[in-house]
Chain A
């Protein structure tokens, strides 16, 4: 699997194998008695839970104590307050998913200025530089995810169709890359299509955004949404408007898997690998704590999921059996 995107500063991607931990690394980490805090955008989603499991499990294998896990609830102010409080707590490292860009930049810069190793997930606040303000960024190949979604949706689009694109109206590396890649793939490979872009300010407003989009462009024949939770909210809104159109999104959450197994409304999903990503984040953190050089950007490839391979992909992504509804729809149970 190749990585098709570039990092937030144009970095070439490094594979997670670059930070592979050997038994002697684990032994050295154990002797270090390190303490790590984790600050996530939310703890509510399947993605966050799985990623957290990967981080905490791997850190446990290395004898690194997780002293706190913060749920920022997508709120910059909560994140800033949490980071400042954790700086006083002086852990050896903080793993953070910055929920905004400029707003949370200064608080993140204070972490590394205080001598605490900062490992970032999915997003880099404006102006922060790897090696100086943070150790590494670990993320999915978001550009690749956008491309996978476009490739999956394209066969379901008639010539000259109008396609809705629902982006996230926040300056966020991961969702920006997905939107740019989706649009680029369509412009290059399906110049016949008309793309109609509208962005939702928060996941809770996905419903009203899709209603506005469908109102302004009643002809839209398909929809791409930059991640699964707002995608499923949009699907529900469209259903209530009696509008069943093929959709593609990123992340194979529980509901998205069910929607995809039936082949409606979802026809394609580009899946991240949250558990593997969590493990890579933890390995990066330990590598940095051991004083070794870490790559500026570590990226994990996405997985193209279709109705036919949804069951095995669900297992790969979540390390658990697919939900019963999925198995039923795929005729694997009766």
Chain B
């Protein structure tokens, strides 16, 4: 204990020095130099303390360790160091040790708990026809969400303005709440990234026109928080894994069926992104149905379903859809799905056909990857059972017996919430990723990260932004 106390005092003094140093954040010119690893001489205390702080915080956050004893065992750090680091994390408001666990003989151990209420994350999902926004805690739990129809072909400046308005509205509904730590956006396309960036430092060209408007810079500047961005299929996969059908699964294949068809893969509990962040673009796989051939998206996606639905309505083969057309309505893929659910034979055939084609492609993936669970998502899969049933039949029929033996194929029950929850998880994992965490943990706030400070300086210098200035309406 005596040794422990001595270490505690010594180390905490060292940390104070480090904290003091971090408070006087270096100027941008010095940032890169500061980030460079030291090679010679005795390491500074901040350099030796930060890695163990990072490791302990992540053990606690991911619930791999819930007591001091477990932390010591998992991290192989000494009792005194663990006590000291927990003291620091506690002062930073990141962990709590006030609760007692269950005694296994002797004194009950103190539980070490991550304080997920320490910060908040603003999340949004952008897809072709809808915009969703929400706010989550650091554990990825959504505290509030709102979805509305939106047209993604509108200018990105207008989209950004709406996003800022809705984010302001949400923050306004959380008065006196914890600080905002990050913003995470789910977008309808692959976000090119070789895994080298800690957070977005520029707006990626995900959609046409995005290269001319500083969306990321506007959000980071307006709300003073780092921004993360991932494709919708990646965020939905993360959301499903964290809060939906994927809970407690390690290997999951997630397939989103919409206008686009994409897949997300979770291997050993981690999202697989591929070399360029473009894993899972299965919509481009060529397929053939009878005489016709095309990409999976063109042959089974929601545009195909809507087109076929309109055709049967015009032919009079579907009473329900013909009635809708007669009343001046359009026939959407959802209408076809609803008609099928109501028992319309022609509509059922369209969805079965799509399900079969999608199922064949999934079967190939399943044989290769041997997932425990396949989740079908997207509004068509979620509004009825027919597409799911025929996809299931195709997958089970074409899979190796070992692959299909315990394989579950289910539909997502999370709706667009999976994208919001997943976006929150992307930000949380980004904030606490060791290369990011070690450069802000001493200050207790991710905004203090030198690269974010650098980004803010750049944003300030580039005012006014390149595109049309966003002036959020008064709320």
A and B found bound together: yes
Q: Which residues of A contact B (CB under 8 A)?
A: 4-12, 14, 18, 101-102, 126-127, 129-132, 143, 171, 176-177, 180-181, 183-184, 187, 191, 194-195, 197, 293, 295-296
B148 touches A6 (CB 8 A): yes
The answer to whether A191 and B473 touch across the interface, beta carbons within 8 angstroms, is yes
- B341 interface residue (CB < 8 Å to A): yes
Contacts A18-B342, A295-B383 given; indicate if A131 touches B413 (C-beta within 8 A): yes
User: Nearest chain-A residue to B411 (Cβ)?
Assistant: A131
> What A residues does B166 contact at CB under 8 A?
180
Give the chain A neighbours of B141 by CB distance below 8 A.
126-127
Query: Using a Cβ–Cβ cut-off of 8 Å, how many residues does chain B contribute to the interface with A?
Result: 35
Contact A11 B475 (CB under 8 A): no
A143 x B148 contact (CB < 8 A): yes
Question: Does B353 have its Cβ within 8 Å of any Cβ on chain A?
Answer: no
Stretch from B15-23, B104-112, B414-422 contacting the other chain? B414-422
Q: Are A194's CB and B415's CB within 8 A?
A: no
B130 CB-CB contact with A under 8 Å: yes
Tell me the nearest residue of chain B to A132, going by C-beta. B413
Given the complex of chains A and B, what is the CA–CA distance between A183 and B475 in angstroms?
Answer: 9
Q: How far is the CA of A180 from the CA of B148 in the complex (A)?
A: 10
Chain A neighbourhood of B132, CB < 8 A = 6, 10
Task: Assess whether A7 is in contact with B475, with CB atoms less than 8 Å apart.
Answer: no
B148–A195 touching, CB < 8 Å:
no
Contact between A197 and B415 (Cβ–Cβ < 8 Å)? no
The SS class assigned to the B binding surface is mixed
Query: Which residues of chain B in 331-354 are interfacial with respect to chain A, using CB atoms and an 8 Å cutoff?
Result: 334, 338, 341-342
Docked pose: A171 CA to B145 CA in angstroms: 10
Given A4-B149, A18-B342, A187-B473, A171:B173 Cβ within 8 A: yes
Residues of B within 8 A of A181 (CB): 148
A80 to chain B, nearest CB (A): 19
Contacts of A14 in B (CB 8 A): 338, 383
The answer to whether A171 and B144 touch across the interface, beta carbons within 8 angstroms, is yes
Q: Which residue of A lies closest to B166 (CB)?
A: A180
Contact B385 A11 (CB under 8 A): no
CA A177 to CA B342, docked complex, whole Å? 29
Question: What are 24 A-B pairs at a CB distance below 8 A?
Answer: A4-B149, A6-B130, A9-B145, A9-B147, A9-B416, A10-B415, A11-B416, A12-B334, A12-B379, A12-B383, A14-B338, A18-B341, A101-B144, A126-B141, A126-B143, A126-B144, A127-B243, A181-B148, A184-B148, A184-B165, A195-B473, A197-B475, A293-B384, A296-B415
Q: How far is the CA of A195 from the CA of B473 in the complex (A)?
A: 9
Q: A126 near B383 (CB under 8 angstroms)?
A: no
CB distance from A126 to the nearest CB of B (A): 6
In chain A, what residue has the closest Cβ to B414? A129
Q: Are B341 and A195 in contact (CB under 8 A)?
A: no
A10 touches B413 (CB 8 A): no
Query: What residues on B are CB-neighbors of A195 within 8 Å?
Result: 473-475
